Structure 1
Amino acid sequence: MRNEDTTQHFPVDPADPFLSSLYTDMNHILRQLADKHIEVEEKSLYYESILRVMTHEIRNSIAPVASLSADLLKHLDHTSVSQQREELEVINSQAKNLTAFLDSYHRLTHLPEPEYKTVTIQALFTKLERLLQAEPGSGRIVYSAGKADRSTGKELQMYGDANLVTLALINLIRNALQAVEEQQDGIVKVDACIGASGRLLITITDNGPGIPSERLSAIFTPFYSTKSGGSGIGLPISQRIMQLHGGKLSVSSIPNVRTTFKMEF
């Protein structure tokens, strides 16, 4: 443990109950240490990607500001008022863009810790329907909530922060609606069930054009967006919300057939 070698484990000795219990606990600690190492590495890569994108965006925003302001200072006496106004408007626009970008970063990195409560999936879906009823194409959304136990008819439930999970779902459903907006037969299915692992699964599936394989690995990168005017934080926020719940968000896509985002709690 001092050398942080999590590949080694203590042998369980069934002949000695005390040692057997002790070694079992020590092996559990080693597994936790290994999991923590993986978590730290994942977070390090995550924040490195954010830093790279932020550096790129901030440089792109500041470059014209620096260039135009330097030009104004150099030729101030020979520049007309109208030209000064034009260049100042560009500088002001860049400043607003940079502020909006930093606000997006703040939203991404300052999500609250989940407040856990038990809520039925049906109640969660009803809330989503109300919130999205004014969304363009909301009539294309089909909700389906399975049963926790078919023999008793017990309703499927979620233990988590309903507000945060709702935010994650809205981000995913909006993306799906945008993917099918130009299709006559476009549909978005939101399903909930208990998976083979015994965990709650919520899937959002659309029959849109899909996501090319070369883009799949990048879609959760903060500020990455292929949409005009897109902030690129919707999917990273949804992914972060699932991480805060100890779950995960994954995606699979078959171009021109279907794209599915899977939330596993």
Structure 2
Amino acid sequence: MVYKSFRFQLIGRLVLLLLTMFLFTHLNYSESYFFTKFLVFLLVFFQGWSIYNFLEKSNREIVHFLESIHYDDFTNTYPERKTGSSRDLLYHEFNEILKKFREIRADKEAQHQYLRTIVQHIGIGIITFDREGEVQIMNNAAKKLLGIKLIKNISQVARDHPALKESFTELKTGGRDLVKISKNEEEVQLAVYAIELSLREKQFKLISIQNIQSELEEKEMEAWQNLIRVLTHEIMNSVTPISSLAATVETELHEFLQTGSDVNRINDDTIQDFHLSLKTIHNRSESLIKFVSDFRNMTRIKHPTLANHEIEDMIKQILILLKPDIEEASIKVNCSVKPGLTANIDREQIEQVVINVIKNAVQALAATDKEDKLLTITAMPSEGGGAFISVADNGTGIEEEALKKIFIPFFTTKKNGSGIGLSLSKQIMRKHGGNITAKSQIGEGTEFLLKFAS
């Protein structure tokens, strides 16, 4: 609309100028009308100057308008006289555009304040800083957790809490760490997470900090209670019959000693009872010694010696080792391993974990009456880097309550199980920076997943 009006005015002015110039040219062929020629010449000059002024004024106003946008100055307003002229329409459009920019700025400012308020009030500490360590954001939770009121550079945090220096500088995107710091003469356990960001070709790092001291203490207490419950159960299973049998033997011998009976008069049945009781006491004592030995070994897992090993070769050798058990149980094996897949592991320790998991699956399948017993082993790269090994069976599955406890030391659902294997496997995987998890469905089977860090 504005463009059309401007175009019509310009064309009208140009047409008048051309007509005036035509008149001036026509008068030039006449030797008279000198005064008229002069007036027409002035009219041509005035019209040319008017067109120039018309264009220049429009250009100046457009330049001024664009400069306002360039410098984010949206406070200007252009006078609208409601005359319907092209300039009036142009001013109206300018005002509408500036009004839109003001609304956008107000919305952005409101959104910024909204997000800033959220960041300041969430319970997780957040710190962002650039490559030079200059801090852009540090919310109230971070200040409270670290006991710092004002900070300009991240080096101040490292100075007050040296344990955090490595986490803040070395952690990459997705990295996490557990750090102990001292605050008000108390130890606080912090979970530190990092994300690297790029904004307008500038690199930033976002660190989130969370106090997990109470959660850790609660989990530690729960773990101790579970362990004590299992230990108590296992020890009492051995100590109770030992105590009972010892008391029985002691009572019978005490009667002989009290009555002064001749030992030679003890009949064969009584001697056999004594022998059986002592044999049982010996067996339960040996079992208790083995239990204590297993418990001691669990706390002495050596630190893994890491190196890159091919997963496919390791799994092939394990399947050869367990082939007799697999064939005896008539189990079909479906193995899918990506060729060339490697992981940074201690092969000896991880072999122990994989053997334990596969043996559990084989034993679970051997105990079922299914005809199509299937053991599925998969090893592939993980999406976030690293690798995973999946061992799944189509056995009877594990009850939900038992599934929650299978990694607790000495907990077992097997009649002759020690309850050490999976707990040991969990510790080994953690020492590798990975994890082992299990999921199961009654009647459909169980899957164990070993995840290795990149």
When normalised by structure 1's length, the TM-score is 0.82
Does residue 262 (structure 1) correspond to residue 411 (structure 2)? The answer is no
Is residue 2:313 matched to residue 1:123? yes
What SS does the aligned partner of 1:188 have?
strand
Report 1:153-172 matches (<5 A).
Answer: 155-172=340-357
Q: 1-side partners of 2:319 and 2:451: how far apart? A: 21
Structure 2 partner of 1:63? 240
Unaligned runs of 5+ in 2: 1-122, 135-151, 159-163, 169-175, 180-189, 192-211, 257-265
Give the 3 Å change call, closer, same or farther, for CA 82–160 of structure 1 in structure 2: same
Aligned ranges for residues 93-132 of structure 1 at < 5 Å? 93-132=283-322
Moved more, 244-253 or 44-53: 44-53
Worse-superposed segment, 133-142 or 225-234: 133-142
Whether the 8 Å CA contact 1:108–1:237 is kept in 2: the answer is yes
Q: Secondary structure at the residue paired with 2:309?
A: strand
Aligned residue in 2 for 1:4: none
Q: Report the Cα distance in structure 2 between the residues aligned to 1:136 and 1:194, rounded to whole angstroms.
A: 27
1:198 Cα deviation after fit: 2.0
**Does the 8 Å CA contact 1:137/1:177 hold for their aligned counterparts?**
no
Aligned mates of 2:221, 2:307 — CA distance in 1? 30
Distance, in Å, in 2 between the alignment partners of 1:112 and 1:32 is: 21
Once residues 132 and 310 of structure 2 are traced to their aligned partners in structure 1, the CA distance between those partners, rounded to angstroms, is: 47
Output one character per residue of 1:32-71: Cα deviation in whole Å (capped at 9) or x when no partner: 3224857776566445432331122212311221222223
Aligned residue number for residue 82 of structure 1: 272
Preserved contact between residue 402 and residue 413 of structure 2 (Cα < 8 Å): no
Q: Give 2:198's aligned residue.
A: none
CA distance in 2, matches of 1:93, 1:131: 31
% identical aligned pairs: 26
8 and 125 in structure 1: CA distance in 2 versus 1, 3 angstrom threshold: closer
The 5 Å alignment of 1:208-247 reads 208-247=395-434
What SS class does the counterpart of residue 324 from structure 2 fall into?
coil
Q: Which has the higher helix share?
A: 2
Out of 160-169 and 8-17, give the one that drifted further: 8-17
Residue type matched to 1:226 in 2?
A: T
Aligned residue number for residue 178 of structure 2: 32
Q: Partners of 1:42 and 1:137 in 2: how far apart?
A: 42
| 2:303 match: secondary structure | coil
Q: TM-score, normalised by structure 2?
A: 0.50
Instruction: Output the CA distance in 1 between the equivalents of 2:313 and 2:234.
Output: 40
| Mapped partners of 1:195, 1:14: distance in 2 | 30
Change (3 A) 1:198 1:13: closer
The total of aligned residue pairs comes to: 252
Alignment partners' CA distance in 2, 1:95 and 1:144: 46
Partners in 1 of 2:250 and 2:434 — Cα distance? 54
Instruction: Choose 227-236 or 123-132, whichever is displaced more.
Output: 123-132
CA distance in 1 between partners of 2:430 and 2:388 (Å): 14
Quote the Cα distance in structure 1 between the aligned partners of 2:243 and 2:344.
Answer: 51
Structure 1 CA distance for aligned equivalents of residues 334 and 314 of structure 2: 14
Which residue of 2 is the match for residue 145 of structure 1? 337
Deviations 1:53-110 (A, max 9, x none): 1122212311221222223223215463222112112211211221222232233222
Q: Confirm or deny: 8 A CA contact 2:338 2:379 kept in the other structure.
A: yes
Q: Determine helix, strand or coil for the equivalent of 2:343.
A: strand
Of 242, 250, 266, which residue of structure 2 is paired with 1:73? 250
- More deviation, 67-76/116-125: 67-76
Coordinate RMSD, CA, aligned: 2.9
In structure 1, what is the Cα distance between the partners aligned to 2:220 and 2:415? Answer: 28
Corresponding residue SS for 1:118: strand
Q: 1:32 is paired with a residue of what secondary structure?
A: strand
Q: What letter corresponds to residue 170 of structure 1 in structure 2?
A: I
Higher RCO structure (Cα 8 Å, ≥6 apart): 1
Offset, 1:180: 1.6
**Match for residue 207 of structure 2?**
none
Residue of structure 1 in register with 2:67 after alignment: none
The superposition leaves residues 186-228 of structure 1 with CA deviations (integer Å, 9 ceiling, x where unpaired) of 1111111112222311110111111122221011122112221
The alpha-carbon deviation at position 162 of structure 1 amounts to: 0.4
Aligned to 1:3: none
Q: Does 1:179 align with 2:364?
A: yes
Structure 1 residue runs without a partner (length 5+): 1-6, 148-154
Task: Name the CA shift for 1:11/1:86 in 2 (closer, same or farther; >3 Å).
Answer: closer
Change (3 A) 1:255 1:81: closer
Deviates more, 1:190-199 or 1:28-37: 28-37
- Farther-moved stretch of structure 1 (251-260 vs 229-238): 251-260
- Residue range with higher mean Cα deviation, 52-61 or 228-237: 52-61
Q: Which moves more between the two structures, 110-119 or 135-144? A: 135-144
Amino acid of the residue matched to residue 155 of structure 2? L
Residues 102-137 of structure 1 show CA distances to partners (whole Å, capped at 9, x for unaligned) of: 232233222221111110112211221232223243
Equivalent position to 1:207, from 394, 398, 411: 394
CA contact (8 A) 2:311 2:379 kept: yes
